[in-house]
């Protein structure tokens, strides 16, 4: 695949698929600019070479044209972040758009309206993709967050270009995952959290041959604990996945992977932050209680494993971190990863909730790399090829 370093954009118009699906507050102001900042290096490379950039993205899940999902709401923020006044056009195809693209000069940036105002985008419509393609000389995909979707702007458009290029952000994402999945450095530790085993089965099965330690936390840990005969009270469990949990335990043994489950939990009688809490053994939780976070003993044990690790993957929180009484396990794991990273380990954090937790507790800067694409990252961890990346080959 061609990278931005393999190409000189002098005098070229580059149409760049970015992921500007950013959170907005009730006043339609951007509340987190990290996705815009992540796309900046690719845009700047095009401009510094003497080219011009046409940015296309989706925002939210609009049903037809909805003002609250217009990319016009974020134009000023994008201008501020990249340091160039960004022009805007109120559509992404049509005569007005073609004229705006034709008039674009070297060093200038044009942003198109929300791609998903057109149903053809998600449908992967070929004619729609062709109309986008005619705006530019070269195509760059820098939207890892949508690389697992075979949409018009992420996949279909590539066939209309001789020059199709991997953006700097997309390259970083691919390299980071490659480092986790194909590293010669040992030990490799994966921390998998979240509510359900069912959503992470294929990830766990695919990564087991590549790792040395598997730490399981969050609600999904109770399925493993119950499968081994533990008493989990009213804790979250997938009773139809108990056999599967035992199979994963057996497979981990066969692959010489050490499996680490919580040994204690913070339990409560009610799913709210104000209910009283106590520490209980993870396999002996009272009948009327539920575990909502890992306990202090578990935090110590998990931290020891992480500090010895050279490569660390973190996907999913260890407790209900949105509530103050059940955030310590997630903070503790993040701090341990941060310390290991400071001591030379490589750490990759990805998947919506773990990224949200890392940002909430000011841990993101302590990680080697924080992925911008939850679904895309999970699919790569599952061993799937992503259409948005395949289209660039």
Which CATH number characterizes residue 249's domain? 3.40.50.1260
Domain boundary among 150, 171, 192: 171
**Under-50 pLDDT residues of the chain:** none
Based on the fold, state whether residues 207 and 106 are members of the same structural domain: no
| Catalytic residue list | 35, 196, 352, 375
Question: Domain for residue 178, yes or no?
Answer: no
Question: Domain for residue 279, yes or no?
Answer: yes
Task: Give the neighbor-by-neighbor strand order of the sheet with 86-88.
Answer: 2-3, 164-166, 138-141, 13-17, 52-56, 109-111, 86-88
Question: Domain for residue 127, yes or no?
Answer: yes
Based on the fold, state whether residues 158 and 191 are members of the same structural domain: no
Based on the fold, state whether residues 143 and 205 are members of the same structural domain: no
Binding-site members are: 19-21, 35, 58-61, 116, 149, 200, 291, 322, 351-354
CB count in 10 Å sphere of residue 148? 23
Distance (Å, whole) CA 213 – CA 221: 15
Q: Rounded to an integer, what is the distance from CA 148 to the centroid of its chain?
A: 11
Distance (Å, whole) CA 393 – CA 386: 11
Question: Domain for residue 392, yes or no?
Answer: no
**What is the span of the domain harbouring residue 89?**
2-171
Residue range 341-353, pLDDT digits in tens? 999 999 999 876 8
Distance (Å, whole) CA 108 – CA 166: 21
Distance (Å, whole) CA 60 – CA 377: 19
Based on the fold, state whether residues 167 and 310 are members of the same structural domain: no
Q: Answer yes or no: are the C-beta atoms of 78 and 36 closer than 8 Å.
A: yes
Q: Where are the alpha helices (DSSP H) in the chain?
A: 34-49, 75-82, 95-102, 119-123, 126-133, 168-181, 201-207, 221-227, 242-254, 296-307, 328-342, 352-360, 374-381, 387-390
The strand pairing partners of 86, in sequence order, are 109
Based on the fold, state whether residues 310 and 196 are members of the same structural domain: yes
Please tell me the predicted confidence (pLDDT) of residue 30: 95
Question: Domain for residue 22, yes or no?
Answer: yes
Question: Domain for residue 391, yes or no?
Answer: no
Domain boundary among 171, 201, 223: 171
For the chain, the C-alpha Rg in angstroms (whole number) is: 23
Based on the fold, state whether residues 289 and 149 are members of the same structural domain: no
Based on the fold, state whether residues 240 and 373 are members of the same structural domain: yes
Q: Rounded to an integer, what is the distance from CA 112 to the centroid of its chain?
A: 24
Question: Domain for residue 390, yes or no?
Answer: no
Based on the fold, state whether residues 234 and 152 are members of the same structural domain: no
Please tell me the predicted confidence (pLDDT) of residue 91: 97
Binding-site members for (2R)-3-phosphoglycerate are: 35, 116, 149
Concatenating the DSSP letter of every residue in 87-154 gives: EE-S-SSSHHHHHHHHTPPTT-EEE---GGGSHHHHHT-HHHHHHHHTT-SEEEE--GGGTTS--TTT
Q: Answer yes or no: are the C-beta atoms of 128 and 118 closer than 8 Å.
A: yes
Please tell me the predicted confidence (pLDDT) of residue 247: 96
Domain count, the chain: 2
Dihedral in degrees, nearest 10, Cα atoms 231, 236, 241, 242 = -10
Please tell me the predicted confidence (pLDDT) of residue 199: 85
Positive or negative torsion for Cα 200, 202, 205, 211: negative
Question: Domain for residue 115, yes or no?
Answer: yes
Based on the fold, state whether residues 124 and 197 are members of the same structural domain: no
Based on the fold, state whether residues 156 and 188 are members of the same structural domain: no
Please tell me the predicted confidence (pLDDT) of residue 352: 62
Alpha-carbon distances, residue 207 vs 30, 214, 224, 259, 299 (angstroms): 36, 9, 18, 13, 23
Domain boundary among 171, 194, 218: 171
Binding-site members for ATP are: 200, 291, 322, 351-354
Based on the fold, state whether residues 228 and 147 are members of the same structural domain: no
354: left (phi over 0), alpha (psi -120 to 50) or beta: alpha
- Among the listed residues 137, 140, 127, the one whose alpha carbon sits nearest the alpha carbon of residue 57: 140
Residue range 38-59, pLDDT digits in tens? 999 999 999 999 999 999 999 9
* pTM as predicted: 0.90
Based on the fold, state whether residues 88 and 190 are members of the same structural domain: no
CB count in 10 Å sphere of residue 376? 26
Angle between helices 168-181 and 374-381 (to 10 degrees): 40
């Amino acid at each position: 695949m061609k990278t931005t370093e393999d190409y000189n954009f002098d005098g070229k118009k580059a149409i760049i698929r970015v992921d500007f699906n950013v959170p907005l507050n009730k006043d339609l102001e951007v509340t987190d600019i990290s996705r815009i900042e992540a796309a900046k290096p690719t845009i700047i490379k095009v401009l510094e070479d003497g080219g011009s950039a046409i940015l296309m993205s989706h925002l939210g899940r609009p049903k037809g044209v909805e003002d609250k999902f217009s990319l016009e709401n974020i134009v000023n923020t994008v201008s501020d972040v990249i340091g160039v006044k960004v022009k805007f056009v109120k559509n992404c195809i049509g005569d007005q758009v073609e004229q705006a693209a034709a008039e674009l000069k070297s060093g200038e940036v044009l942003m198109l309206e929300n791609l998903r105002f057109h149903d053809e985008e998600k449908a992967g419509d070929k004619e729609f993709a062709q109309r986008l393609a005619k705006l530019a000389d070269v195509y760059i995909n820098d939207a890892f967050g949508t690389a697992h979707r075979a949409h018009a702007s992420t996949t279909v458009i590539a066939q209309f270009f001789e020059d199709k290029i991997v953006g700097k952000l997309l390259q970083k994402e691919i390299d980071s995952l490659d480092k986790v999945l194909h590293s010669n450095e040992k030990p490799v530790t994966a921390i998998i959290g979240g509510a359900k085993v069912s959503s992470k089965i294929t990830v766990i099965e695919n990564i087991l041959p590549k790792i040395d330690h598997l730490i399981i936390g969050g609600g999904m840990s109770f399925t493993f604990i119950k499968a081994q005969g533990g008493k989990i009270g009213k804790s979250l469990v997938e009773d139809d996945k108990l056999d599967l949990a035992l199979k994963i335990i057996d497979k981990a043994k066969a692959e010489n992977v050490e499996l680490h489950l919580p040994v204690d939990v913070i339990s409560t009688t009610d799913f709210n932050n104000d209910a009283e809490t106590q520490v209980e053994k993870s396999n002996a939780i009272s009948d009327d209680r539920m575990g909502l976070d890992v306990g202090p003993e578990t935090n110590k044990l998990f931290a020891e494993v992480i500090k010895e690790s050279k490569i660390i993957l973190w996907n999913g929180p260890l407790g209900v971190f949105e509530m103050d009484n059940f955030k310590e396990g997630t903070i503790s794991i993040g701090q341990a990863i941060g310390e290991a990273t400071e001591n030379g380990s490589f750490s990759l954090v990805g998947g919506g909730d773990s990224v949200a937790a890392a940002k909430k507790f000011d841990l993101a800067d302590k990680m080697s790399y924080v992925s911008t694409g939850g679904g895309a990252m999970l699919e790569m961890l599952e061993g799937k090829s992503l259409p948005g990346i395949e289209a660039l080959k």
